[in-house]
Amino acid sequence: MCVTCGCSDDNQTTITNMENADHHTHTLPDGTVITHTHHHEETPQIHAKIHNTTISLEQEILSKNNLLAAQNRGWFKGRNILALNLMSSPGAGKTTLLTRTINDLKDQLTISVIEGDQETTNDAEKIKQTGCKVVQINTGTGCHLDALMIERGLQELNPPLNSVVMIENVGNLVCPALFDLGEAAKIVILSVTEGEDKPIKYPHIFRNSEIMILTKIDLLPYLQFDVQRCIEYAKQVNPKIRIFQVSANTGEGLEDWYNYLVSSL
């Protein structure tokens, strides 16, 4: 449950291993795992009725998440796996960039994907076509992935040693920034179709990201988008943020992104 954004208490997360799409695992917010047989267990409803209770509950949830994230981080480190948390608003081009990256680096890197969406396996199907391993996590009414979901997803994904795990978070510029997943780096993806002021309108996600990828730059001739102003806004909220400008369609700028991935593993 996300107290900050109001995700419902009774939300169920569905994890689908795309190697066997008929196999589903449902995980309740309290960690209870329900198999595809749908034998549901009742979970207590949590009602934050006053402001102080809400704050306390939020802190408790984030604290538990951070503990699980630390365990995930240790799991990745022990297997020399580079885990990256890709975050953006819907339609920014995460999946397009991801599929292009997987295809172009097949001979250099082994990449697996945890795909996060509220519903459908549409993006996971696209990623599966590249030949890489992919697990779909559907969050239902949830607006972000959390460390517990990633832990369960990794059990299904079983990524190999010395590889890269790309975590494509639910499309949202707010709550994904709050939840540590155990990743090596948070990467925020912004398309030139969204407006150059996004870094100052949604500063938290840019402040907590190591990298900003500005996508769809092939569309710049057709848009009123001030690239330099966007970069200045991003540097204003996060002076250390690293910025790549790319087009997944034309390939422009992808070399720097690819060099980062290869050199980081």
Residue 56 has pLDDT above 70, yes or no: no
- Domain annotation covers residue 70: yes
| Cα–Cα dist 190/223, whole Å | 15
E-assigned strands of the chain?
Answer: 13-17, 24-27, 33-35, 82-88, 111-117, 134-138, 164-168, 185-191, 211-215, 242-245
pLDDT given for residue 106 in this prediction: 96
- Domain annotation covers residue 43: no
**What's the pLDDT tens digit per position in 151-177?**
999 999 999 999 999 999 999 999 999
- Domain annotation covers residue 42: no
- Domain annotation covers residue 186: yes
The larger pLDDT score, comparing residue 39 to residue 248, is at 248
User: Which of 170, 139, 147, 7 has its CA nearest to residue 64?
Assistant: 147
Average the pLDDT over 17-40 and give the result.
57
Average the pLDDT over 33-47 and give the result.
45
Question: Domain range spanning residue 102?
Answer: 59-263
% the chain with pLDDT above 90? 75
- Domain annotation covers residue 95: yes
What CATH number is associated with residue 174? 3.40.50.300
Domain tally, the chain: 1
* CA 125 to chain centroid: 17
pTM: predicted TM-score of the whole model, two decimal places: 0.82
Please tell me what DSSP assigns to residue 210. Answer: S
- Domain annotation covers residue 23: no
The larger pLDDT score, comparing residue 45 to residue 132, is at 132
- Domain annotation covers residue 194: yes
- Domain annotation covers residue 80: yes
